[in-house]
Each structure stands twice: as structure tokens, then as C-alpha cells.
């Protein structure tokens, strides 16, 4: 996750390379940063990179896979604090606001990487997996909250999540998450209303 700008000189060569990649790739982009800079930041021999990952593409894939796992854990743990299904759905945007407030927030690593890699690559597949997980999460949360059309609502919420992330990055406005949360609440309420009307009849 964002927040690391230096690489600890401890741990295995693989851990140090991933920590260096996390810092450099997120801050500057996966194509801009060459392997020599990653190796220098990690403080390992060039052979270590190829021993651990085989190629730069695999290093990029591993970096993004680690980010996906970290994001999934952060969201899962954060939502565990919420008491109701509605709070859990909207809580995704609360957690997004915490991310936006971090000093070195640079937008979505998966969106940025997708723009830099070729279609069909292993790197693109990790980005697609991360995005698919967000859609599934929103669909499950929407269903738990009683939405009549959870898949449709999930699609809307993913678009809202993406838009807030771009706004926060481009406008340097952490408040984009709160604005997105308000819209998400309205979308959820609109999806619940037909069921309430039917039930009251």
C-alpha cells in the first residue's frame, strides 16, 4: 500500500526487491522504473532479481499481486468493524477516504499499471483479478444490504469507486470519498425503495 518510500535493508532478497518495487513502481510507474533502480533500492545483486522473479514482468506481477492482497486484507479488516450490512457497504468508501488522506497517494496502482502493459499479459491479469474482486465484494455487500438488483448496483458502485479515486488523485481532494459515499447511500436507498413499497402494499 502507499506510504513506503524507503526499503528496509533486512529480510530476504525477494522481500527487499518487492519492497523496492512497491515504492518505485507506485510512485513513478512500472515502465518508467528500470530494474537497475529497483536493484539499487533493494541493495541486492542483479542476479538476485532473476533468481527470485525471472524477469521484470514477473516482478511487476508480484508487486501488484501483493498490493491486491494488502488491499483485500485492509478492506476485510476495516469492514469487520461495521455493525450493519448498510454500514459495511458504505464503509468501503470510508476506507477509501483513509487511503486518499495518505501523503503519497498516487491513485489506483491497478488502473495505472493496466495503462502501461500489453493486453493479455500476466500483469494485466492481476489487474483484472483485483478489479473483479471489487465487483464481487460490492455485489455481496449490496445483496446483504437487501438490494433488489445487487449486480447492477455493484456495477454502479465500482464506477463510483473509480471516479472518486480519479478525482482524489487529479484534484488532490480526499473529500472525494465522502462525496462518493453520499451518492452510494442514495443509490442503495433507490434500489431498496421498490422492495419497501411492495412490502407495504
Domain 11-54 has CATH 3.90.340.10: no
- Of the pLDDT bands very low, low, confident and very high (cuts 50, 70, 90), residue 199 is low
- Of the pLDDT bands very low, low, confident and very high (cuts 50, 70, 90), residue 10 is low
The closest of 166, 167, 169, 164 to 180, measured between CA atoms, is 164
Q: What is the DSSP letter of 8?
A: -
Q: How far apart are CA 17 and CA 40, in angstroms?
A: 9
- DSSP letters, 90-123, are HHHHHHHHHHHTSTT--S-HHHHHHHHS-TTSHH
CB-facing half-sphere around the CA of 172: CA atoms within 13 A:
2
pLDDT at 201: 44
CATH code for the part of the protein at 64-200: 1.10.357.10
- Tens digit of pLDDT for each residue in 88-102? 999 999 999 999 999
Domain ranges of the chain: 11-54, 64-200
- Of the pLDDT bands very low, low, confident and very high (cuts 50, 70, 90), residue 169 is very high
Report residue 191 CA to chain centroid gap: 26
- Of the pLDDT bands very low, low, confident and very high (cuts 50, 70, 90), residue 4 is very low
Q: Is the pLDDT of residue 3 over 90?
A: no
Length of the chain: 201
Q: How far apart are CA 89 and CA 78, in angstroms?
A: 11
Q: Which helix (H) or strand (E) holds 84?
A: none
The residues, any chain, with a CB within 8 Å of residue 93's CB and separated by 6 or more, are 161, 164, 177, 178, 180, 181, 184
pTM: 0.87
Q: How far apart are CA 163 and CA 53, in angstroms?
A: 34
Q: How far apart are CA 97 and CA 74, in angstroms?
A: 13
Amino acid at each position: 500500500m502507499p506510504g513506503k518510500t524507503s526499503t528496509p535493508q533486512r529480510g530476504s532478497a525477494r522481500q527487499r526487491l518487492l519492497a523496492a518495487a512497491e515504492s518505485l513502481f507506485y510512485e513513478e510507474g512500472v515502465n518508467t522504473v528500470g530494474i537497475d533502480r529497483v536493484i539499487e533500492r533493494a541493495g541486492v545483486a542483479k542476479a538476485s532479481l532473476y533468481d527470485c522473479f525471472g524477469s521484470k514482468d514477473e516482478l511487476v506481477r508480484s508487486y501488484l499481486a501483493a498490493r491486491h492482497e494488502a488491499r483485500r486484507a485492509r478492506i476485510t479488516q476495516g469492514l469487520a468493524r461495521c455493525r450493519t450490512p448498510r454500514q459495511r457497504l458504505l464503509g468501503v468508501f470510508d476506507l477509501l477516504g483513509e487511503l486518499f488522506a495518505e501523503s503519497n497517494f498516487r491513485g489506483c496502482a491497478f488502473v495505472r499499471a493496466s495503462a502501461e502493459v500489453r493486453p493479455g499479459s500476466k500483469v494485466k491479469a492481476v489487474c483484472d483479478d483485483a478489479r473483479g474482486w471489487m465487483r464481487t465484494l460490492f455485489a455481496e455487500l449490496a445483496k446483504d444490504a437487501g438490494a433488489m438488483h445487487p449486480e447492477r448496483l455493484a456495477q454502479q458502485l465500482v464506477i463510483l469507486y473509480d471516479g472518486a479515486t480519479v478525482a482524489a488523485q487529479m484534484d488532490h481532494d480526499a473529500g472525494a470519498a465522502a462525496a462518493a459515499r453520499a451518492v452510494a447511500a442514495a443509490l442503495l436507498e433507490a434500489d431498496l425503495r421498490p422492495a419497501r413499497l411492495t412490502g407495504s402494499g
